[in-house]
Amino acid sequence: MNERIANLMEQAFDHCKKYDDEGKTGLVKTTEAFYAFAEMIVKDCVKVIEETPLGYGDYRDQILKSMRDHCVDRVRYHFGVD
């Protein structure tokens, strides 16, 4: 398994540990952890897209930035992640 995915999974379960004091069942906590994990993956993918260097140094960078921003917006909208 990719180390980044393992790290995100660990973060998701850590995120859900706060519910231990609220008496939620294991299934609810596990479900919330999976949702948190999925959201973290989407956010990580968006970050990769946003940080992709443009690199041309001319008008093509504006076109690529526009396309990149559009892709980021579409991915966020598609998965309902801010």
Give the HSE-up count for residue 65: Cα atoms under 13 Å, Cβ half-sphere.
9
Amino acid identity at 53: P
Amino acid identity at 29: K
Q: What is the per-residue pLDDT for 71?
A: 94
Q: What is the per-residue pLDDT for 26?
A: 63
Amino acid identity at 73: D
Mean pLDDT by 10 residues, the chain (82 residues): 79 69 62 83 93 91 94 93 84
Domain boundaries, the chain: 3-79
